Amino acid sequence: MRKASLAIVIALIATTLGVIAAPSSGAVEKRFSVFCKFSHSTRQDPIVAPGHHRRSDHQHVFFGNRSTRSHSTYRSMREAGSSCRLRADTAAYWVPALVAPDGNYVRPHGAFAYYRSVGALADQKIRAFPKDFRMISNDFHFHCGEDRNESPVPIDCSGVAGGKRLRLTVVFPACWDGRRTDSKDHMRHVAFPTGKGCAKSHPVALPRLAIIAQFDVQDAAGYLLSSGSPTTAHGDFWNTWRQKRLRELVHRCLGRGVTELCGEVRS
């Protein structure tokens, strides 16, 4: 019994040391997250189809900034309210709407926005997204609740523990060219890191953003997206945060020497 107790103590000490050494060892993922309720749905897209009367070619579901429309400006977004638990997050996140077999759109529950410093970027200086920064990503997968098994199509989550809601995760590039806040295809100004970090063409490390949209449906097998087949899944991000608060969170939660997992931020 004493040997077992000693082993437990040693394990606890080792775990503690591992947490303290996280920035150099990469044992602990540095991140913070914000939960945003579903805000609204519209066939508009201020990144791909900006302009007062311009419409996107498909329906989107929006989280975060409540005013996001095709005619929105950086200033109007900053002055608007947010569906996020953290009021300072007035950014906009959106993905295509999920479509049931009967043609109806599925109402989303909400979305988590994860800001991380992982992999080859864990020991690099991470900069906050610049104001009015925009990007799109088509790196996605579907999964059930907390289950980590990834699928390229919507699936049946009814038999998965904690799988009450289907989730669509979109992961964004984390390397920036340091110059443009957008590009013609809304992708070329950013790039995904390699095993060695950011390439010379995109040398600035940004938070590794992931949007996890939650839909109130269990069995989504055979469902489509408003953009078409599941292979058309993508996500959009427009940085209209209260910039000072974003910089503070990036420094406190993702900066060098960080040993604390910030988790969800609400204030």
In a domain, 177, yes or no: yes
In a domain, 6, yes or no: no
Strands 208-215 and 139-144, how do they pair?
unpaired
Q: How far, in Å, CA of 86 to CA of 266, rounded?
A: 4
pLDDT one-digit tens code per residue, 61-120: 999 999 999 999 999 999 999 999 999 999 999 999 999 999 999 999 999 999 999 888
Domain residues for 35?
A: 29-264
Residue type, 78: R
Q: Mean pLDDT of all residues in the chain? A: 88
Please report, in angstroms and rounded to a whole number, the separation of the first and last CA atoms in the chain: 45
In a domain, 9, yes or no: no
In a domain, 19, yes or no: no
CA R_g for the chain: 20
In a domain, 171, yes or no: yes
In a domain, 2, yes or no: no
Q: How far, in Å, CA of 159 to CA of 161, rounded?
A: 7
DSSP single-letter state for residue 130: P
In a domain, 131, yes or no: yes
Concatenate the DSSP letters of all residues of 69-87 into one string.
-TT--HHHHHTS-BSBSST
Question: 0.85 cut: is pTM over it?
Answer: yes
Q: Where are the beta strands (DSSP E) in 43-165?
A: 60-64, 92-96, 98-99, 108-117, 134-137, 139-144
pLDDT one-digit tens code per residue, 50-77: 987 778 889 999 999 999 999 999 999 9
Domain count, the chain: 1
Q: Is the pLDDT of residue 262 over 50?
A: yes
* CB within 8 Å of 93: residues ≥ 6 apart: 36, 62, 63, 64, 111, 113, 211, 235, 236, 237
